[in-house]
Amino acid sequence: MAKKKVIFECLACGHQSPKWMGKCPNCGAWNQMEESIEHKETKGPKNTFKSDAPAQKVEKLKDIKEEDTPRIKTKINEFNRVLGGGIVEGSLVLIGGDPGIGKSTLLLQISAALSQNKNVLYVSGEESVRQTKLRAERLVEDSGELNVYAETNLEIIHSMVQKIKPDLLIIDSIQTVYHPEVTSAPGSVSQVRECTQNLMHIAKQMNIATFIVGHVTKDGQIAGPRLLEHMVDTVLYFEGDTHHAYRILRAVKNRFGSTNEMGIFEMKQTGLNEVKNPSEMFLEERSKHVAGSTIVATMEGTRPILVEVQALVTPTTFHNPRRMATGIDHNRLSLLMAVLEKKENFLLQQQDAYIKIAGGVKLSEPAVDLSIIIAIASSFQDKPTKGDDCFVGEVGLTGEVRRVARIDQRVQEAAKLGFKRIIIPKNNIKGLEFPEGTEVIGVSTTREALKIAFSV
């Protein structure tokens, strides 16, 4: 079979050239010309398309019957939640994360568990079959029925998939797989894009649920073209620190479920164990009655989670005070400190401020604003809040506390963990059923919240 013609395409604008150029002549971008395969058009008269695929008829939405999407349930409920209820047949899922974070371990656990009643093929491009077996022996699950294949040539992998016809296919990793018709090295942009495109056709045509492991760059993005995240059905990111035991699996894109879901796992010698109550995990090491520490009830998808917000405000030694934030947006910290300065007369111009969300969680919803403001005020005044207080609310630029969504689930989670007082927006009080033994206080401004938080 003759090799296909290779061209060079600009990743920024899509301009094509028969030879490589350092600067794109169309958009002027540097070092964006990457090698790709030129797909020849079918010969024949114009407006004539030949295809062996059966023609699909046009249907109205009202005439289409609703059917539940078949899903493959795994034994790991946290993994099922992040995917939206389970693995969808024929879907293509991309999992990214730092080296050593546990991507291969998680997929090997899932493969070993599903191999008891499903036909699973685990393709490893980084390890031999014996090395894969050594990793599998550490797991609790019985992996004796798992099909393991060590190969990097995509055409050979395709022929093996057609022979075995698995229900679940694992590719570990996409950066090691190569297409023989692409002359660039494995892991290059053109190789990664072409291999992912072929795997997508395999998943859709043969109705095989396919998982692809992708390495990440220094910026935390999937290595390769951004097009990969548009091609796949689901993009999962495995977050965490290799020096800590807890890992967070977060859905960035999901065509079959919510993109706000988060799963928490604990890395042990026998593999990854799911954390069923993450709120207790995030609060087990918090220090009570310490200035600069508050608790917020946040929502991650459909699950309420209680996390600790820590603040440290100290006099600066520089002309420009430092504003550093871990777990929240840096601009949000500057905005909330400006509200404290303007509306509550806190002199923070000569103070360094450091904010951290304990446990390594990244919070983006506005409901954490009130907790951040209370933590900053507590550290600045060196006055601790009560250890059984929880703060929820969005703060506006005029100092008002705005309502938040799903307040009933947040209050129930805080009450279940023993918090006696929950300070929430006043507009959320209407129609709310208070848990027994818990005092729910509504506030409309940050001044009211500060007064209640530091009342003796």
- Per the annotation, binding residues for ATP are 97-104
Cα distance between residue 7 and residue 17, in whole Å: 6
| Both structure tokens of 20 | 């490589």
Nearest Cα neighbor of 254 from 362, 93, 96 is: 93
Q: Binding site: what residues are annotated? A: 97-104
Q: Which amino acid makes up residue 338?
A: A
For residue 204, which of 241, 231, 174 has the smallest C-alpha distance?
Answer: 231
* CB-based burial label for 257 (10 Å; 0-12, 13-18, 19+): buried
Largest CA-CA distance found in the chain, in angstroms, rounded:
86
Dist CA 22 CA 33 (whole Å):
7
**What SS3 state is found at 246?**
strand
198 sits in which H/E element? helix 189-206
**3-state secondary structure (DSSP) of residue 429:** coil
| CB within 8 Å of 114: residues ≥ 6 apart | 72, 74, 120, 167, 168
Tokens of 406: 């799903």
Q: Please give the C-alpha separations between residue 288 and each of 20, 295, 452, in angstroms, as whole numbers.
A: 62, 10, 18
Q: Which amino acid, one-letter code, is at 306?
A: L
CB-CB contact of 125 with 152 (8 Å): yes
Instruction: Please report the DSSP string for 170-194 in residue order.
Output: EEE-TTT-B-TT--SPTTSHHHHHH
Nearest to 391 by CA among 367, 359, 415, 413: 367
CA–CA dist 427, 430 (Å, integer): 7
CA quadruple 32, 35, 37, 41: dihedral sign: positive
For residue 160, the SS3 value is helix
Order of all β-strands in the sheet with 293-300:
293-300, 303-315, 351-357, 323-326
